[in-house]
Amino acid sequence: MSVHCRRPADAKFLKGNLVSTENKAGLGALLTPEESVLALIDHQPFQVANLHSHEPTMVVNNAVGLAKAAKVFDVPTILTTVLEERGGLLLQGLQDVFPEQKPINRTFVNTWQDERVVDAVKATGRKKLIIAGLWTEVCVAMPAIQAAGEGFEVFVVTDASGGASKEAHDMAVRRMVQAGVTPITWLAVMSEWQRDWAREKTVPGIVEVLAQHGGASGVAYAWETQLLATPTGNEV
């Protein structure tokens, strides 16, 4: 099947999307700490109170787990809120991970239209932009779609994000995928950052994060650790 481009702009758009598609497969498509930058958007009381796509406490748990994982791997993390004087301050659990960082408080609904946020992301020099936030259909989808169109490889952490309804969240994810954004879960992000258990420096940190926020996976891992540490009676 041939593709007909009516004007140069169409060809440029098609070429750009083909390049983007090439980045979706192979080892280079996986996340590394050195290439990643994380943006946590609008995890605030008002948004949580109107979160209906997921169980709210699960989303909060996952967002905090993601933030802690980013800190373990020294991944630059940008915190941002919208109209915090009305919607409330950043959730304390997230602020506690980065106590020294003051969230960028915006008026723009679309985070990517706030130059302070864009400048902070670009200052890292990293092209794999990981986004999680509330709500998926508004304050996540807008910047994800725009940033993807500006050359960033955008990953949206769907289980650390949520929408005003399940349909709103699901449709937003579908729309972002059509724009070239990659959906991912927070444990997958952490796993790709670690990649190799021989990277011993970060193992204690991710084990702690997993135990605190990994749910059943964390319980299972803690049990395995206990079993491995239990004397068998055959020790020399």
pTM for the whole structure:
0.86
DSSP single-letter state for residue 2: -
Q: Which domains does the chain have, with CATH numbers?
A: 32-195 (3.40.50.850)
What single string gives the DSSP state of each residue in 17-29? HHHHHHTTSSGGG
Catalytic residue among 66, 139, 189, 210: 139
Residues 22-49 pLDDT 10s: 578 899 999 999 999 999 999 999 999 9
**Averaged over 182-188, what is the pLDDT?**
98
pLDDT value, residue 236: 56
Q: Which residues pair with 105 in a beta bridge?
A: 81
For strands 77-82 and 128-133, give the pairing: unpaired
- The amino acid at residue 83 is L
Residues 59-100 pLDDT 10s: 999 999 999 999 999 999 999 999 999 999 999 999 999 999
Q: Is 139 a catalytic residue?
A: yes
**pLDDT for 110 beyond 90:** yes
Query: What is the three-state SS of 146-172?
Result: HHHHCCCEEEEEHHHCECCCHHHHHHH
Residues 113-125 pLDDT 10s: 999 999 999 999 9
Q: How confident is the model at residue 11 (pLDDT cuts 50, 70, 90)?
A: very low
